[in-house]
A and B are shown apart, each in its own frame.
Chain A
Amino acid sequence: MIQETEIIAALKEGDKNAIGTVYDRYGAALYGVVLRIVQSPEVAEEVVQDVFLKIYRNIGSYDENKGRFYTWALNIARNSAIDATRTSEFKNRQKTEQFEFVVYRESHPAMTNVDAIGLREIVNKLDEKHRKVIDLAYFQGYTQSEIEQEMNIPIGTVKTRLRLAIKELRKVFG
């Protein structure tokens, strides 16, 4: 069994094969996050390539004592995807692609793992307003004040909802 520490050590030595292992292990999660944010399979494919390049280039700045590798990689994916949505090219593109993506998603109902492993139902059981806070913060990179504005709730309520959402999720994943 390949330990994560070994993969990281290999990455730090510049071993390209290690990226392949990372891809096999976390590719779906990273692609899923990116797709969720950019909403276009075509853009997601490009962003994911950047993500792995960044992982490979910046592994030196990853500190095992500060957190898990998976978290670190997810953050890179999330940030790259959010950056991609902020380019003007993306904004123009989005208008024409949104429709296509909806069609794509509708015609591939089993596209996400959430479906495949029956987690969608669980995720759906999360109170909509709790889920929305996570989604805005995590997937859309909103700031505190943007969330307050978007949902029209004070910061205290944002805290409470996040806490309740995590509590609910703990029942499933904890």
Chain B
Amino acid sequence: MNLQAYITSGILELYVHGLASPDDVREVEAMAEQHPEVQQELDNIRKVLDSYVGAHGVQPPAGLKEKVMQRLDGAPVGRPKGSQNSEQIAPPMRSYEPRAPREPGIASIATWVLGAALLGACVAVFLFWQQAERADVQVKAAQYQMEQVRKDCEAEKAKANEVKEQFIAIRHWATKPVQMKATPLGGDAYAVVYWNNVKKTTYLDLGKLPQPAADKQFQLWAIVNGKPTDMGIFEVAPADSLIKIDGQFIENPQAFAVTLEPKGGSQSPSLDQMWVVGNVAKG
């Protein structure tokens, strides 16, 4: 198996989530040892999972830190066994040893001042770091949301353009509406074709066509010299009831009709499945 295929197979994700079988675990670990790419991918997955988990973080209740610290008192040392005697439960933090002070008073004040200043600086730097990290997550979140908004905006723009185009096409002086009325089969269905011999465009207003069964689709036909010409199948989308009929423009239709066909459409219309039909007015 090539390395890339192995990396993208999903086994590494399985491993990181602790779901891999013992055999798989051995295999992944061997692969990671041999191939730095595998190791890197593992690290990446882990980092992403950790971030996701971290995003579920919750501010712990006040006082929990104190409880945690209290529990530590009396806890055995965190050192590996045998490396230290038990007296040194909490060795002091590394501290600055003042150099042989000549004047003890001033020196110890200086030490305190220096210590306090260092501590202050450490706290400040830590707080700053923490804030910077939080800000980074916020920026990423904002960027992501921005990207979503931009996409939404583009989708809206495209939709608005389409509506504008439809509006222009239908208002055009040469546009002829062809009302298609229901056959006995069609019940109260109707639909309208907007046919424009100058702009060479055809629009179909779905009017009141029902949603067909899953294995059926409506198909639009133009009748030219008494013969049906296929104008394509279409979906009944309630939210978007005007659709542009692409494909070849029909020059001299006498009528338009819609039939219900098996999914994918038919070569020639099933005449007993005609739902709506309408003649094109002459002139």
Contacts and interface: CB of A to CB of B under 8 A. Distances in A.
Interface of A: 1-2, 10-17, 19-20, 23-25, 27-29, 31-33, 35-36, 41, 45, 48-49, 52-53, 56-61, 67-68, 70-71, 74, 111-114, 117-119, 121-123, 125, 134, 137-138, 141, 143-144, 147, 158-160, 162-163, 165-166, 169-174
Contacts, number: 201
Nearest to B77: A14
Greatest chain A CB density within 10 A among B58, B71, B88 is at B58
A41 B64 CA distance: 11
A11 to B, nearest CB: 6
A50 to B, nearest CB: 8
Contacts of A10: 93
Contacts of A57: 75-76, 78
Given A118-B138, A134-B17, A166-B13, A113 B55 contact: yes
19 contacts: A2-B125, A19-B68, A24-B65, A27-B65, A28-B57, A29-B53, A31-B59, A33-B57, A45-B60, A48-B68, A59-B78, A60-B80, A71-B50, A111-B59, A113-B54, A159-B9, A170-B44, A172-B141, A174-B47
Contacts of A169: 48-49, 51-52
Contacts of B79: 12-14, 60
Contacts of B145: 118, 121-122
Contacts of B99: none
Contact of A118 (B21, B47, B141): B141
A163 B10 contact: yes
Contacts of B122: 1-2
Contacts of A28: 57-60
Contacts of A138: 17-18, 49, 53
The 6 closest A-B pairs by CB, nearest first: A159-B10, A60-B80, A173-B51, A32-B57, A28-B57, A31-B60
Contacts of B125: 1-2
Contacts of A111: 58-59
Main SS at interface, chain A: helix
Contact of A119 (B50, B84, B90, B137): B137
A33 B19 CA distance: 18
